[in-house]
Amino acid sequence: MEIFENYDIKKESTFKIGGIIKKIAFPTSTDELVSLLKTHEYDCVLGNCSNILFSSDYIDKKIIITKNIREYSIDKNEIKVSSGTLGSEVSKECLKKNLTGFEFLIGFPGSFGGMIFMNASAHNQSIADNFIWAKVYDKETDEIKIFNKKEMDFNYRHTKLSDENYVLLEAMFKLSEGDYEKIKDTMDRNVEFRKTHQPSLKYGNAGSVFKNPPNDSAGRLLDLCEMKGQKEGGAMVYENHANFIINFNNATSLDVITLMYKMFSKVREKYTIVIKPEIKYIGNKGTEEYKLWEIMNLESMQTIQK
């Protein structure tokens, strides 16, 4: 296990944005992760950082990154994964074994810890579909617990892990047997869709910026607000999809959040709809970007108007 102080967090960010963070740990096993959690020293646990915006300023926090805990096993049609396992890696193995249910993960850059945390979904498939149980660490009681599907409270971009004091350790899924060619065809179409509709990671980005509001699409609303191509410093709304921001020229976190706030405000003003950030922000309270972030995360239009 590696632990660093005053670490350049930009190296871990798919957004290619971030300053120096106070302390960071990289466990290589679930046991090491548990040992770190028991210290109660760390502020949060992250995976592949594919939906994270780190502040460009110094970040006075201690974090754990699980990307080196990449353990999984496949027994017939049951798949057990650790928190740092990449979805795309498991998706490819499921294809080899003619298992269907994880086709949507083929283009995902994230790990299972993050994908379960937010109930990741795409192309009419979601993490919840084939979920059986999760083994989690309760940071308040220092206990390891098992939650079944019902107990996980799966909803759109939300699970029990989203608002409770739990960290994913392992999870079990049960997929169905399928036809190799049909599975491969679906995966190929998913990859092609991502290539044509979403930016490549060669342009720093963190996936969809805003959650879809009920019965609508954040991308559609932002497109109608003519946000495609809009810029703020080194950040730009992707020209092929209005719900993505790319780091095209050494963008800072303030560039990104200022642009997000413009997107947020346009939709609120034109349609009286509040779109909420899907990406997660890690920074220090009191800064200009933190204040904008708090406004965008208010619960209702009435709260914003107050």
What integer pLDDT is reported at residue 200 of this predicted model?
A: 80
What integer pLDDT is reported at residue 301 of this predicted model?
A: 39
0.85 exceeded by pTM? yes
CATH T-level assignment (fold) for domain 2-65: 3.30.43
How many Å apart are CA 300 and CA 276, to the nearest integer?
10
Helix/strand/coil for 306: coil
Q: Identify whether the C-beta of residue 208 lies closer than 8 Å to the C-beta of residue 230.
A: no
CATH class of 218-305: alpha beta
Catalytic site positions: 157, 208, 278
Strands (E), 139-234: 143-148, 166-174, 176-177, 231-232
What integer pLDDT is reported at residue 157 of this predicted model?
A: 86
Domain with CATH 3.30.43.10 in the chain: 2-65
Q: Identify whether the C-beta of residue 116 lies closer than 8 Å to the C-beta of residue 105.
A: no
Domain with CATH 3.90.78.10 in the chain: 218-305
What integer pLDDT is reported at residue 300 of this predicted model?
A: 39
Distances (CA, A) of 161 to 12, 67, 151, 164, 194: 22, 18, 10, 5, 27
Name the CA radius of gyration of the chain, rounded: 19
**How many Cβ atoms sit within 10 Å of the Cβ of residue 191?**
14
Average pLDDT by stretches of 10, the chain with 306 residues: 97 96 98 97 94 96 97 96 96 97 91 93 91 96 96 92 90 97 96 87 91 94 97 97 97 98 96 94 93 81 39
How many Å apart are CA 54 and CA 253, to the nearest integer?
7
DSSP state letter for 17 = -
How many Å apart are CA 110 and CA 259, to the nearest integer?
24
Distances (CA, A) of 169 to 39, 71, 135: 16, 11, 5
What integer pLDDT is reported at residue 201 of this predicted model?
A: 74
What integer pLDDT is reported at residue 306 of this predicted model?
A: 38
What integer pLDDT is reported at residue 128 of this predicted model?
A: 95
Q: Selecting from 3.30.465.10, 1.10.579.10, 3.40.50.2000, 3.40.50.10740, what CATH number does the domain 72-194 have?
A: 3.30.465.10
Domain with CATH 3.30.465.10 in the chain: 72-194
